[in-house]
Amino acid sequence: MAIIVNEQKNQFYLHTKNTSYVFENVCGLLAHSYWGKRVEDVPPMAELYPLTGIALVAADLPEPYRSSDILLQEYSTYGSCDLRTPSFSAVYSDGSPITKLAFKGYKIYNEKLSPKGLPATYTNEGDICQTLEVELFDELKKVSVFLYYCVFEEKDIITRFTKVVNNSEEAFTMNSVQSFCADFPHMNYDMINLHGAWAREGHIERKPLFVGTQQVNSKNGASGPNHVPFIALADKDTTEDSGDAFGLTLVYSGNWYAGVDVDRHFRPRLMMGLNPFNFEWQMKSGEEFYAPEVIMSYSSQGLGQMSRQFHNIVRENLCRGNYRDTERFVLVNNWEATYMDFTEDKLIEIADAAAELGVDMFVLDDGWFGKRNTATTSLGDWYVNTEKLPSGLKGLGEKINAKGLKFGLWFEPEMISPDSDLYRAHPDWCLHTNGRPRTPCRYQLTLDLTRKDVCDYIVDFLTKTLSENPINYVKWDMNRHFSEAGSALLAAKNQREVAHRYMLGLYSILERVTTAFPNVLFEGCSSGGGRFDAGILHYMPQVWSSDDSDAVERLYIQEGLSTVFPFSTMGAHVSAVPNHQIERNTPIKLRGLVALPGQFGFELDLSKMSEEDKTASKELIKAYKQYGEVFHRGEYFKLSSIFKGQNTAWEFVSEDKNTVIVMLYNIQGKLAVPHKVTKLKGLDAAAKYEDIKTGKVYGGDTLMNLGIFHDCDHDQTCDMLVFKKV
Ligand code: DGJ
């Protein structure tokens, strides 16, 4: 059984194959006892951790617990005696900001429960998942907070989310509701997060905890790019392969928070959920509210195992749709080839070259609609520009299909240009606050997705375009984040709900459109990886990882993102040199081998490609068709990190363990230095593996213990080694 309740000891055990998560009901408060490697029995809280320190507030608990301010808690509220950061806080009709929750009861479900209206993990046939529901209740205010724990026993994953119910006759205002909270007994950890910016997404940062608050978050209406919604604590000596790692990622695409408050007794409170900053939610009598799901991945075998557990659940229990498990399309996107300056003939020329190479799909990016020749205009006017495309989308799509290519199209559905027919007809449809300027960014404003009429309009134009034209793929872009985030239809007291209501609107649109068009592959994008998160991946199984398509920069970005997300979710293309963003020259081999493990494609004018590059591209496509499944469904091992040096190596082991691919990259050469040794991981030590290029056979133990020697003499060299079990 994954969930065991020890009624005598008031303890709740959540067991996966290799991990345990334990909490206890202490005088009505939930105390966090343990999260870590599997244990069958945890001593009661009273004996577990020495409770040093004198409570400064009040001795609200009997000895030996003393005070809720020093008890290690599982979910905390504001206003009584725990003065650390609360997981839940609200202001009631009498002006009181105090909530006092006490344990009321629990239920166990033999199924996975999920937060309503929000993306979440799910089970497939054969998956074992139990859910524990714990009800906490404020007797005075008649508010219930339900904590949900879903235990994916075989996958070593637990997820958590929260539901709040107003059982009273009166309304109240909620201003923080976290999805995950747990207090740890000591601060001997590093905090790991993924920070970024436009064109520099997903960079790994690791810092020791300090006493005080350290946090990462988003306040801009999208999840990134400043940070990916991810946080981990790891022992100071945790490596890729050993030591404790506690990872969290939020299934949410808007304003989020993840933080660690280390208190005066050096004990960290780890929390994750909706960002309480500028958040309020009016809870009328009888209403319920769901906070997003957090995916928890604990590993006692280092960060690599934590990542592999994340990859597995994201691939199999989060992403959905017809393309979840299939190999997707090798595409060519015209953005960096033409930007908005194209004609139908030019597009056909690129498509011809693509067909010759063996590409599967041609994607038409920004600039095909309204009067869109520059970024200054036309978002919202989603009708084809027949001056550029005289055959229309249908005609162009059919011509492309006739070459044996599928056809994909770019949209930016959430946006509106002030210079558009849509804006002239509906000036109130954008996010705005009366009396303040509507500040454009990239000459555009954000549509107000808190409104049903706006959501319906988006679903209608997408439905029309996708049903009338032969479209197999949609790139869903979002090129600005929020400013003046108010809504014309919401009352004054609801204005701080805008950011979350926007997400609920977006998710309802995505649910409707992706369900109606199961054969269309959707790819997320927000100026690259500005909204790369587990919420988006529920609807779209891949995201354009970054606008920086330079191979060297992509080594950092893709390695960083792989901390949480599998390569199957990362759009990665070969682009032209000198690179358009960073002006670096890199050989086609490096550009190809860096993009290959992701969702592979091209982002350049194929009609201008040299014969040499064409030959290399054909080889790349061949390798991708042959090994895409290993990159996307196999296990990933980071053999070395680009954040620590000039060389890096990624390894992928196929699901059946018979194929092993090692990608070796060297960005800067050095002469007269020792050869680099790369030791493989995750092989069968007793088996033999043949290097298919050389025909040489090695023992699994040899590859893992002696490793592969390669030189690093030259700049920007790389290799792809394939081993087959013999
Ligand atoms: C930002 C995206 O990341 C690019 O790939 C491209 O689609 C442009 N937007 C188009 O405006």
Taking the CA atoms of residue 384, residue 389, residue 393 and residue 398 in that order, the dihedral angle to the nearest 10 degrees is 170
pLDDT reading at 218 higher than 80? yes
Distances (CA, A) of 178 to 145, 418, 628: 11, 37, 38
Cα gap 195→193, rounded to integer Å = 6
Query: Is the CB of residue 479 below 6 angstroms from any atom belonging to ligand 1?
Result: yes
Grade residue 723 by pLDDT with cuts at 50, 70 and 90: very high
Distances (CA, A) of 222 to 1, 487, 505: 38, 17, 13
The two structure tokens encoding residue 166: 């107003």
Cα gap 102→141, rounded to integer Å = 12
Q: What percent of the chain has pLDDT over 90?
A: 93
Query: Is the CB of residue 523 below 6 angstroms from any atom belonging to ligand 1?
Result: no
Per residue in 107-142, pLDDT (tens digit) is 999 999 999 999 999 999 999 999 999 999 999 999
Report the separation in Å between the CA atom of 401 and the middle of ligand 1, taken as the mean of its atom positions. 24
Q: Is 375 helix (H, G, I), strand (E, B) or coil?
A: coil
Model's pTM, two decimal places?
A: 0.98
Cα gap 249→270, rounded to integer Å = 12
Q: Please check whether residue 490 is in contact with residue 450, taking contact to mean a CB–CB distance below 8 angstroms.
A: yes
Q: Which residue has the tokens 């000891």?
A: 9
According to the model, what pLDDT value does residue 56 have? Answer: 72
At 134, which helix (H) or strand (E)? strand 129-138
Query: Is the CB of residue 275 below 6 angstroms from any atom belonging to ligand 1?
Result: no
Which backbone phi and psi does 239 adopt, to 5 degrees? -115, -170
pLDDT reading at 710 higher than 90? no
Report the separation in Å between the CA atom of 527 and the middle of ligand 1, taken as the mean of its atom positions. 6
- Catalytic, out of 69, 138, 360, 547: 547
**Averaged pLDDT for residues 569-594:** 98
Q: What is the CA radius of gyration of the chain?
A: 26
Per residue in 504-536, pLDDT (tens digit) is 999 999 999 999 999 999 999 999 999 999 999
| Contacts of residue 430, Cβ cutoff 8 Å, sequence gap at least 6 | 416, 423, 438, 445, 446, 447, 448
**Do you find a cis peptide bond into 43, omega within 30 degrees of 0?**
no
What is the atom index within ligand 1 of the atom nearest the CA of 544?
Answer: 3
The 10 Å Cβ neighbour count of residue 201 is: 31
Return the residue whose CA atom lies nearest to atom 9 of ligand 1: 527
* Sheet strands side by side (includes 688-691): 635-640, 647-653, 659-666, 717-725, 688-691, 697-699
Grade residue 675 by pLDDT with cuts at 50, 70 and 90: confident
What is the atom index within ligand 1 of the atom nearest the CA of 525?
Answer: 3
Annotation says 547 is catalytic: yes
Number of residues that make up the chain: 726
According to the model, what pLDDT value does residue 80 have? Answer: 82
Query: Is the CB of residue 528 below 6 angstroms from any atom belonging to ligand 1?
Result: yes
| Contacts of residue 691, Cβ cutoff 8 Å, sequence gap at least 6 | 697, 698, 721, 722, 723
pLDDT reading at 326 higher than 70? yes
Could you give the maximum distance between any two Cα atoms of the chain, in Å? 81
What is the atom index within ligand 1 of the atom nearest the CA of 410?
Answer: 7
According to the model, what pLDDT value does residue 124 have? Answer: 97
**Do you find a cis peptide bond into 64, omega within 30 degrees of 0?**
yes
Query: Is the CB of residue 560 below 6 angstroms from any atom belonging to ligand 1?
Result: no
Q: Identify the DSSP state of 301.
A: B
Which backbone phi and psi does 15 adopt, to 5 degrees? -110, 135
Cα gap 72→290, rounded to integer Å = 25
Grade residue 18 by pLDDT with cuts at 50, 70 and 90: very high
Q: What percent of the chain has pLDDT over 70?
A: 99
Cα gap 411→506, rounded to integer Å = 14
Distances (CA, A) of 666 to 398, 579, 636, 714: 43, 18, 19, 8
Per residue in 47-84, pLDDT (tens digit) is 987 766 666 777 889 988 888 998 999 999 988 889 89
Which class for 646: exposed (0-12), middle (13-18), buried (19 or more C-beta within 10 A)?
Answer: middle
Query: Is the CB of residue 548 below 6 angstroms from any atom belonging to ligand 1?
Result: no
Residue from 474, 479, 542, 550 to probe ligand 1 pocket by mutation (most atoms less than 8 Å from CB): 479
Annotation says 719 is catalytic: no
| Contacts of residue 564, Cβ cutoff 8 Å, sequence gap at least 6 | 194, 228, 230, 247, 249, 307, 310, 314, 534
Q: Identify the DSSP state of 173.
A: E
Sign of CA dihedral 176, 180, 185, 189: negative
Residue from 339, 414, 475, 477 to probe ligand 1 pocket by mutation (most atoms less than 8 Å from CB): 477
Query: Is the CB of residue 184 below 6 angstroms from any atom belonging to ligand 1?
Result: no
Cα gap 251→235, rounded to integer Å = 25
Strand-pair partners of 253: none
Q: SS3 letters for 212-254?
A: EEEEEECCCCCCCCCECCEEEEEECCCCCCCECEEEEEECCCC
Per residue in 424-464, pLDDT (tens digit) is 999 999 999 989 999 999 999 999 999 999 999 999 999 99
Strand-pair partners of 231: 248
| Contacts of residue 587, Cβ cutoff 8 Å, sequence gap at least 6 | 716
According to the model, what pLDDT value does residue 52 have? Answer: 64
Per residue in 134-176, pLDDT (tens digit) is 999 999 999 999 999 999 999 999 999 999 999 999 999 999 9
pLDDT reading at 276 higher than 90? yes
Query: Is the CB of residue 547 below 6 angstroms from any atom belonging to ligand 1?
Result: yes
Sign of CA dihedral 178, 59, 13, 193: positive
Distances (CA, A) of 248 to 34, 39, 271, 272: 16, 21, 9, 8
Distances (CA, A) of 97 to 12, 176, 455: 30, 11, 35
Report the separation in Å between the CA atom of 545 and the middle of ligand 1, taken as the mean of its atom positions. 11
Return the residue whose CA atom lies nearest to atom 11 of ligand 1: 366
Residue from 336, 338, 372, 410 to probe ligand 1 pocket by mutation (most atoms less than 8 Å from CB): 410
Report the separation in Å between the CA atom of 173 and the middle of ligand 1, taken as the mean of its atom positions. 39
According to the model, what pLDDT value does residue 54 have? Answer: 65
Query: Is the CB of residue 49 below 6 angstroms from any atom belonging to ligand 1?
Result: no
According to the model, what pLDDT value does residue 561 have? Answer: 98
Query: End-to-end CA distance of the chain, in Å?
Result: 39
According to the model, what pLDDT value does residue 671 have? Answer: 86
Cα gap 664→652, rounded to integer Å = 12
Query: Is the CB of residue 613 below 6 angstroms from any atom belonging to ligand 1?
Result: no
Residue burial 128-152, b: 16+ Cβ < 10 Å; e: rest: ebbbbbbbbbbeebebbbbbbbbbb
